[in-house]
């Protein structure tokens, strides 16, 4: 008697649920439905994602050349777009140059160069950075601003990703 109980428990029993005709039809319909869902979903995803792909391609730029930026007066800064995000080119009062991303590492506000106090400030939550190194000095920002290489030329400044 105990043997017959055993056979009933065997998972490969052809009478068990997974092998019925009904079960097969269910899976077949499910499979076809899934195939249709993918065939419809994939183009829609790519369609909606198109500008994301475009902006990723734009974000991948290696360098940006800024015509006439060499004429930037000492103690001032220029905001420009590096790929898709804002960046700062600073001409320091001691005639040195720095380029940094202008996106605050705290929550993404665009930072500003404050020539009077020679600091970079973020107006959103009062974070400050060192304008020469990009180091976070005070306030909530957790990380320094990323630096770029600056290459001077006659009539232009080229900013490169490091």
Partner 1 sequence: MAKRSDYWIDRFGIGDAIAYAKKKSVPLHKHSFWYYWGGISLFCFLVQVVTGILLMVYYRPGPEAFESVRQITYSIHFGWLIRSVHNWSANLFLLSVFVHMFSVFFMKAYRGPREFGWLSGILLLMVGLIFGFSGYLLPMDDLAFFATKVGLEIPSAVPIIGPPIANLMRGGLEVSEFTVQRFFALHAVILPLLFLPILGLHLWLVQKHGNASPPSEEAKPEAERKSIPFFPNFLAKDLAMWLITLNVIALFAAVFPWQLGEAADPLRPAPLGIHPEWYFMSQFQTLKFMGKMFPGYAGEAIGMTLFTLGMVLWILIPFYDTRDKTALRAKRTTYFGLLVVGILLLTTIWGYLGVR
Q: Is the dihedral of CA 150, 152, 153, 157 positive or negative?
A: positive
Q: How far is the CB of 39 from partner 1 (least distance, A)?
A: 8
Residue 41 binding partner per list ligand FES, partner 1, none, with a CB distance cut-off of 5 to 8 Å that depends on partner kind: none
Among 18, 31, 43, 93, binds partner 1 (CB under 8 A): 43
Residues of span 137-156 touching ligand FES by CB under 6 A: 139-141
CA pair distance 119, 81, nearest whole angstrom: 21
CA pair distance 5, 2, nearest whole angstrom: 5
Closest C-alpha among 74, 97, 114, 76 to residue 158? 97
Among 69, 87, 89, 104, binds ligand FES (CB under 6 A): 104
Contact pattern for ligand FES over residues 113 through 132, marking x by CB under 6 A: ---------x-xx-x-----
Q: 3-state class of 139 per DSSP?
A: coil
| Interface positions with ligand FES (CB under 6 A) | 104, 106-107, 109, 122, 124-125, 127, 139-141
């Amino acid at each position: 008697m105990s043997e017959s109980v055993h056979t009933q428990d065997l998972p490969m029993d052809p009478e068990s649920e997974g092998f019925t005709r009904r079960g097969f039809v269910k899976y077949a319909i499910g499979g076809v439905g899934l195939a249709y869902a993918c065939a419809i979903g994939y183009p829609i995803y790519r369609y909606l994602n198109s500008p994301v792909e475009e902006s990723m391609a734009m974000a991948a730029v290696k360098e940006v050349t800024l015509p006439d930026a060499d004429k930037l007066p000492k103690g001032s800064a220029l905001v420009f777009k590096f790929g898709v995000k804002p960046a700062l080119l600073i001409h320091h009062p001691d005639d040195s140059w720095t380029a940094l991303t202008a996106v605050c590492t705290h929550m993404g506000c665009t930072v500003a160069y404050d020539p009077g106090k020679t600091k970079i400030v973020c107006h959103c939550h009062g974070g400050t950075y060192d304008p020469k190194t990009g180091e976070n000095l005070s306030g909530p920002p957790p990380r320094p601003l990323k630096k770029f290489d600056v290459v001077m030329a006659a009539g232009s400044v080229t900013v490169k990703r490091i």
